[in-house]
Structure 1
Amino acid sequence: MQTHEIRERFTRHFVEAGHADVPSASLILEDPDLLFVNAGMVPFKPYFLGEQNPPYPNGTATSIQKCVRTLDIEEVGVTTRHNTFFQMAGNFSFGQYFKEGAITHAWQLLTGPQEDGGYGLDPERLWVTVYLDDDEAAEIWEKKIGVPAERIQRLGMADNYWSMGVPGPCGPCSEIYYDRGPEHGREGGPEADDTRYLEIWNLVFMEKERGAGTGKDSFEILGDLPKKNIDTGMGVERVACLLQGVDNVYETDLLRPVIDVAEQITGARYEGDGQDAIRFRVIADHSRTGMMLILDGVTPSNEGRGYILRRLLRRIIRSARLLGATGETLERFMNTIMDTMTPSYPEIAQNRDRIVRTAVAEERAFLKTLESGTHRFDEAADRIKSAGVTTFSGEDAFTLHDTYGFPIDLTLEMAAEAGLDVDVAGFEAAMSEQRARAKADNQAKKHGHADVSVYREWVDDNPTEFVGFSELTADAKVLGLVIDGQSVTHATEGDEVEVILDVSPLYAESGGQTADRGRLVADGTILEVNDVQKIGKKLWVHKATVTAGGIDLGQAVRAEVDPDWRHGARQAHTGTHLIHAALRQVLGPTAVQAGSLNRPGYLRFDFNYTDQLTPEQLTEITTIANQAVDADFAVNTIETTLDEAKKMGAMALFGENYGTDVRVVEIGGPFSIELCGGTHTEHTSQIGPVAVLGESSVGSGARRIEAYSGMDSFRYYSKEAALASGLAASLKAPTEELPERVSQLTEKLRAAEKEIAALRRQQLASRTGELLAQAQQVGEITVLTHRLPDGVSGGDLRTIATDLRGRLAGKAGVVVLASADGDKLPFIVGATKEAVDLGVKSGDLVKVLSGHVNGRGGGKPDMAQGSGSDAAGLDAGFAAVRDELARR
């Protein structure tokens, strides 16, 4: 049974049982605890936490959620069950059915005949576990389902008690296992061998609330939840293993085709469980995860989600190289995994070109990194050998891995070729320290989620009614006051307070649009609102300063939006839609939005694209946007269902978790139609001119356009016009001739600079004889240390040092030169062949000099360069170099 059919059967089973079919959320939700969605229940957290009421008519839902877990990337492929990307099929009940319903649903699907829509698993091979004292679940399994008591095992809190890792809902769980047979391990059930007995489904009975604590079993149970909920998760990939009759997830219909392509590319064979087999699995696993992350808008970078993607893609590349690949590989891997995944994720088809382009750009960049890392490795290996040591230190290996992105596998292989061992234990210790720091950081972030508990009493009972789409003022009642995280009944002048109202016209920050500014006023009371944030997507929290009087719980106030602020914000946000539409016209549909920021008069727009935009493209984008302004398009807002919005062709943003009802913003018919909850102008002419400032890179495969709107755009153009007029007056040329005149002046200046540089080099070269006369004899070596006049560049230093070294040919000679060039102090060390034969290494001497001038540098034994910032230490540095040579 193919994986996409397994998914379809799961969804059909629960939809026929009355569950709402909920599409998978994006992998990159806005969640303070998570880089990526890592469990099927994550999109439903607001309902389990009590922040929102579930919007499903029957109080039940089902989904097949795409998930990514990357805590143990290095372990991928070592075991055959671990994937960084996986699909979690789940069914959820919010106060409806409980243990018996969840158990019955799961059993019927797993054991139901395939001809009736089930999976047809042999019930005699299914085992279950329950929590230690969960007699109710054990009785349901034995008495109502018919599982023999000997196949029901009770496990402790660490195994069979679930929580999100933070204060909130929790409860016992029951896990379903499949016995794969004696060839896979020893008898005795899941508690004896969880390799033979494969866990395929976890049923969580969410009925308690937990307190603070760390670990899986070191927290207090506070009491019962108001409602008993169900959260289950079935591993799609693990069920596929069983129904396809393969040993592990890498041999299923989704991943095995990638391994087959890897065999073709590398010439190696996938067999056994050695290092080569692990590399094949890494390629297959990471290709799928990388593709799905790019699909959901992640681009490679050096931090956050982008860093995880970069690590995954680079592990694919180096695994392929270690298997024998010599050229680029990611395009074929990506195309193969997209072929296997498209039946389940049709949106891959329209994003195919963008995914391949992003992956290939990262591969080409990493191949250059490998060259740099190889150079660094060679330097370290030379240093180690010259010291008479045979072990490459763990610290050096970790620096190559962490700083230069150089994989430890390649370090091990190259060290073996160089006759060196690697201190793997030292490397692992450094890696463990890094993981511990990352884990501590993640744990610290998790506690941040508990801070919203102070708002919980208002979230469901008193959602804020937002009237700001049509009104700039509103009469409201104060429902809550919060100071320093504590609920209070009064705030006085000077207090910073968070105010919760029943009605608000002030826009809360979301969708890239900054929050409104405004005021809350009453008799003798004024609060300046400087920020508005949402809690649980439905409660408006107004962050304000009491500037006059005081405010009480239950008080009536008038909420007012600063009209100038709102006007500028509407212009910028609507202008963003115009830029997006223009961008897609110029670059095509693969230029996908990756984020935005709108504030009065200014907008920035991030999009996934690998190439720098040309001046002509920027001009065309600006022209199209301003043509839309001039066309005075009507800006229409339509409230409809998510399904209807998609049928209309509305574009959605990555990372947004949309509800069943959405707001569509349509501009000029087909010109622009997007899902958007922001505030907008009524017509595009109200935006005013749009001035594109330029575009830049914000990471591998991601670009950013910045622009002004409205009066800020007018002021920008006025300033540019004044600058051009002043320049034209200075050059006595018409404005339209300025580019040519400036180009001519620039060429003249460059020619003059080259002539001056040539004269300087000639002048310095004429002094080489004079300089050599200053050389000193240090043992067997002739040493020249000299500070040249200020302003000599690093390139000129190299030319002079090469000349002087040439004049010392035939004898053991060392040349050390430096010159202050602005705030920098470039320096160079050159050694003749005879000096190198005596053991002199210019790179080592550069390091000696660096220590005295606050610098760094490196190079080869015969020539090395560096740069420092403390010219006062230069004489001491020269002396240290001579002392170092004297010790030889």
Structure 2
Amino acid sequence: MRLPPPRRLRSPQTDPDPATGPFRALARLPDEESTRMKTAEIARRYLDYFEKNDHVIVPSASLVSDDPSILFTIAGMVPFIPYLTGVVPAPYARAADVQKCIRTNDIEEVGHTARHGTFFQMLGNWSFGDYFKEGAITYAWDLLTGAEADGGLGFAERDLWVTVYEDDDEAARLWKRIAGLPDERIQRLGREDNYWSTGQPGPAGPCSEIYFDRGPSYGRDGGPAVDDNRFTEIWNLVFMQYAITNVRSKIDFDIVGELPAKNIDTGMGLERVAFIKQGVDNMYETDQVRPVLDRAVALSGRRYGAEHEDDVRFRVIADHVRSSLMLLSDGVTPSNEGRGYILRRLMRRSVRAMRLLGVDGPTFPELFTASRDAMAAAYPVVVDDWARISQYAFAEEETFLRTLASGSTILDLAVADTKKSGGTTIAGSEAFLLHDTYGFPIDLTLEIAEEAGLNVDRAAFDTLMKEQRDRAKADAKSRKRAIADHSVYRELRAKGETAFTGFTDLETESTVLGILVDGHPVDRATQGTIAEVILAETALYAESGGQVADKGIITGPGYTLDVLDVQRPVPGLISHTIEVTDGEVGVGQPATTVVDAVNRRAARQAHSATHLVHAALRDTLGTSATQAGSLNRAGYLRFDFSWTQALSDATRTEIEEIANNAVRDNLEVTTRVLPLDEAKDLGAMALFGEKYADTVRMVDIGGPWSRELCGGTHVSTSAEVGLVNLVSESSVGAGNRRVEALVGLDAFRSMAAERAIVSQLSTTLKTPREQLPARIAELTASLKAAEKKIAALESASLTERVPSLAAEAAIVGPYRVVVAALGSAAADDVRSLALQVRERVGPDAVVALGAESGGRATVIVATGQSARDAGAKAGPLAKTAAGILGGGGGGRDDVAQGGGTDASALPAALQAVKDALAS
């Protein structure tokens, strides 16, 4: 988790002027348009006030939370949780900040209320064992009611009410003494409203909230206990003084005593204070948000304030565009998972709202620019990083506009037909057609249907989605080409990351960003050329994580490219090695990547099966059987793991059965993108030695049963794997084993082939299949007995040749030499015969006998003691013969063996032995 620094720091996202500090750029600037206090001025006054009161000013943490339990920074206290809970000692006694926050759980309320926004800024002051209730109340009241001329916020005391926890008499007394509030403006509420905790055992405490009375035109009198619309909460003071345990719910827990060090955690909503100080009805009309709303009004030609539904849409646009801008500035990019999905949803809701206001063309270039200009004073990063931010924003809108153009007509017809027939539910098949063919998100279909007063048959849609996933998977490339030197990719990578859409889409429209031929950039590639093509987006999976690259094509106006390979030459960039099979492709042209769906499906089956086999191995062998590498391609998997001995047949069968039981159980396969530390805490297995980013993708099959870090494509349920057939197990080095398996249809085909073989054997041997093992064992035993008998007869036959061979001994110098080719004979029999002949000939014998067995020639050389004393060594002689036979040989001085693959050279090899003795 990111922790606030222990000293005053400048942040590039919150500190325009290094010499001043967060939000100081607007310090006391004259407002030519109005005397209303601007948002950044409120923040500046807040930080100035607390800095004067000895608080360390802490820069805002990122919207991307380092807390592994949440995607975003959803509250001002998130970065301070380690200090508030006592896990980490606080590096300062008191601090103040303006924290950026994103919260989307109330996204449907955006635009309908005065205060609901997805992006908001929380002003906070913090005390860690320093001042407590009296100090917090004193600071809050002093700043709120202090004169604007003196740096205060200038709230009239008569407009402020407070609430305290029902048993917190101390806080009530302090409010009366410090603020002079009468009893009727200090209301007591229960745990639901005025008690804070993390929801876990640990620190907790009562809180006191400050409300502003907006006046009788906004609701009933009687204070916040009666109407929290008229009485708007602006500041919450949390008095963290107790330890709680046995937490059963937000309001049901046991208080076990006071904390040794009491903390203060306060939060004042900057947008809420801003719309009050600026005299407007809601946060959407404040100076940091209203410019986007006004631009949307200008683009639509409609008037804000004329119609409630249009007003809601204008507010949604203003809020969502600003939120999207700030998320992009903190590095979040549109995607189909995690933070990226939330960002994409915000952006697409904005586009949809503009279309409902009658604007069909691109609007983000103007809306985002307006938001950038409104937020630049407080967050200069939106200007500094505008090129990247705008690239993602504009591209996302263009992509979604194409989706809307294709799908809206179909959906409008479906809505009309449903209403015409008197129905209330749009068929799931219609929703699926929109999703599958046009990329129309189901949540948008649901939203549009709801606007029309209709439902969607979601169950039927989900069924069709599952069937589509069964058809729509793929695998990697078998044809590879080397990619260019990394230096050529710098300019291409500078244009942004290649967006991979293939987790959800098999077809994606994009643009050609670059072409490389033989590692050099070119403007175009013609028919027959093999080149690398870089696109802005792609649905084609690049080889990684053991999964080979997708097969597919890339098409565009007048050209077709056959995809040979897909790789990631540098982080963030995907390169497609292609052959131009038709036409000519050029930089800047539109391109559509089309994945081979059949191949992808088989690849997904294999990759998910790899996870099943891994989990089965660990179930069977224990947690020490960890992954050492893998390869997945359509219908096949190879998995290497740490283990020191071969697996028994029973163990292999058990592993295969566990994996197939998981297939049978139809386990849910889910993916999550989350911080690396959180994934590891959840038990996710990572490949040893692999470098992982701070944020990773975790794949669960059956929940924690199989939980691995993985960036590959997977089935949605384990039943889609079909079948796992473990076909081999072998060693791949010291301490490592390898299993190989066929998956899905390939596994079925293998088993079908084995079934055919069994059937043929059963017919040939006239034996029922269940009796085949016994019958084959019987035949094998009979065969071995026959072979043994034949060998005995052959050996006896050879032994009978001893006298005749000994009689053929020729005098060669000091040696009596026997050289003979025996025809076909086993090497052991030749050795035995050579030794018997040597004994018959005498101590000066040199015997060289050759034979052929299994297409291979063998020569045995045996020498007597006198022959050896005269210089005839068996080892060198055998080596000489082996050289003629195309092999090798050697051995002791008294007996040695040589051989080779060239049996036809056996006579020459034996002659070479005689020649060696003669010389």
TM-score where L is the length of structure 2: 0.47
Q: Which has the higher contact order (CA 8 A, sep 6+)?
A: 1
Q: Greater CA radius of gyration, 1 or 2?
A: 2
TM-score where L is the length of structure 1: 0.49
